[in-house]
């Protein structure tokens, strides 16, 4: 009977080169760390929207839940930013399409991180006793979730379209010095 599953290679660390904050060869740290802030920021926005649409204890509980979720996502995002910067410095050849895309991803996600830190401060100080999500918090929360989705799409393109930090045997024009962007579906030029 043929083997149906292969778990060990995914967890094998022997033979992988250690890259510091970037992780191990074939096991980068940045992508898995992004899951927590992305989930947190989208959940916080959902809690805030539902808080505004409801009343009483549920509205207040959802507003508080959004605050706690943002704090958790914000804490993890600090390590996520650090690993992203390490990737940018060590793995991104300058003046390439990949470099420009990493810059766009970083701009959006650093904006999100600053927005979330502002949200946390506002929630814990100015709006700490509110019985439901205030309008300003709602707008900022939904903006943070929207920008997170945009930044995640750009980051996903880096991994899935460009193979950023993916160990592969193929070459892609996005890693060649160029001022022209190669879009999905375009013929590969070398």
Return averaged pLDDT per consecutive 10 residues of the chain, 190 residues in all: 78 82 87 96 98 97 98 97 94 92 96 97 96 98 98 94 74 77 65
The CA-to-CA distance between both ends of the chain, in Å, stands at 44
Query: Is 3 domain-assigned?
Result: no
Residue 73, C-beta contacts closer than 8 angstroms, at least 6 positions apart: 36, 37, 38, 39, 40, 41, 44, 116
d(CA 189, CA 64): 52
Query: Is 13 domain-assigned?
Result: no
Q: How confident is the model at residue 174, as a pLDDT?
A: 73
Residue among 179, 114, 158, 176 nearest 140 (CA): 114
Query: Is 132 domain-assigned?
Result: yes
Number of neighbours of residue 160 by Cβ within 10 angstroms? 11
Q: How confident is the model at residue 55, as a pLDDT?
A: 95
Count: domains in the chain? 1
Q: How confident is the model at residue 123, as a pLDDT?
A: 98
Q: How confident is the model at residue 187, as a pLDDT?
A: 65
pTM: 0.84
| Owning domain of residue 60 | 22-163
Query: Is 53 domain-assigned?
Result: yes
Kindly provide the b/e burial profile for residues 121-139, where b requires at least 16 CB atoms within 10 angstroms of the residue's own CB: ebbeeebeeeebbbeebbe
Q: How confident is the model at residue 10, as a pLDDT?
A: 77
Strands 23-24 and 27-28 turn out to be: antiparallel
């Amino acid at each position: 009977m043929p083997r149906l599953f292969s778990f060990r290679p995914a967890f094998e660390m022997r033979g992988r080169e250690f890259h510091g904050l970037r992780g191990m060869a074939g096991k980068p740290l940045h992508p898995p760390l992004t899951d927590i802030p992305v989930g947190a920021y989208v959940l916080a926005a959902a809690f805030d929207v539902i808080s505004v649409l409801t009343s009483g204890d549920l509205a207040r509980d959802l507003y508080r839940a959004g605050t706690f979720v943002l704090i958790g996502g914000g804490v993890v995002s600090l390590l996520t930013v650090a690993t992203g910067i390490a990737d940018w410095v060590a793995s991104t050849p300058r003046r390439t399409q990949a470099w420009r895309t990493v810059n766009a991803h970083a701009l959006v996600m650093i904006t999100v991180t600053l927005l979330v830190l502002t949200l946390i401060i506002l929630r814990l100080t100015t709006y700490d006793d509110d019985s439901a999500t205030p309008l300003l918090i709602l707008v900022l929360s939904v903006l943070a979730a929207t920008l997170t989705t945009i930044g995640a799409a750009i980051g996903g393109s880096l991994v899935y379209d460009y193979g950023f930090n993916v160990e592969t045997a193929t070459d892609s024009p996005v890693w060649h010095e160029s001022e022209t962007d190669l879009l999905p579906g375009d013929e590969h030029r070398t």
